[in-house]
């Protein structure tokens, strides 16, 4: 994440731990579906948004809309494992 006070990028330890766990499971031979399932089972927090509004609630004010937790998905794990940003490329 970007720290405006420091004027540079700063490592978020919780997110870094999630990325490390994802790579660790993948190196252990698990596929993206199994990695996503294991991360969800272990309660590893998702990187990014943690809740989304449930569809079909347009008539309700935003504060009253039902929300659901975001979970790890195959596509999220696949992107995380394939992005060169994980090795420091900007």
Evaluate if residue 74 carries a pLDDT over 80. yes
- Average of per-residue pLDDT values in the chain: 89
Evaluate if residue 36 carries a pLDDT over 90. yes
Q: Which two tokens stand for residue 62?
A: 């935003």
Residue 68, SS3?
strand
pTM of the complete model: 0.78
Outline where the chain has alpha helix (H).
13-27, 32-42, 74-82
The more confident residue out of 81 and 90 is 81
Identify the DSSP state of 65.
S
Q: What angle do CA 49, 73, 21 make, to 5 degrees?
A: 85
φ/ψ (deg, to 5) at 64: -100, -5
Of 1-5, 29-33, 61-65, 66-70, the one with minimum mean pLDDT is 1-5
Average confidence (pLDDT) over 19-33: 96
């Amino acid at each position: 994440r970007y720290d405006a006070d420091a004027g540079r990028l700063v490592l978020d330890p919780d997110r870094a731990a999630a990325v490390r766990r994802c790579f660790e499971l993948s190196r252990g031979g698990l596929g993206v579906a199994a990695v996503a399932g294991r991360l969800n089972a272990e309660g590893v927090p998702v990187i990014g948004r943690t809740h989304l509004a449930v569809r079909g609630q347009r008539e309700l004010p935003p504060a009253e809309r039902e929300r659901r937790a975001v979970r790890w998905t195959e596509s999220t794990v696949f992107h995380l494992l394939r992005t060169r940003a994980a090795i420091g490329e900007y």
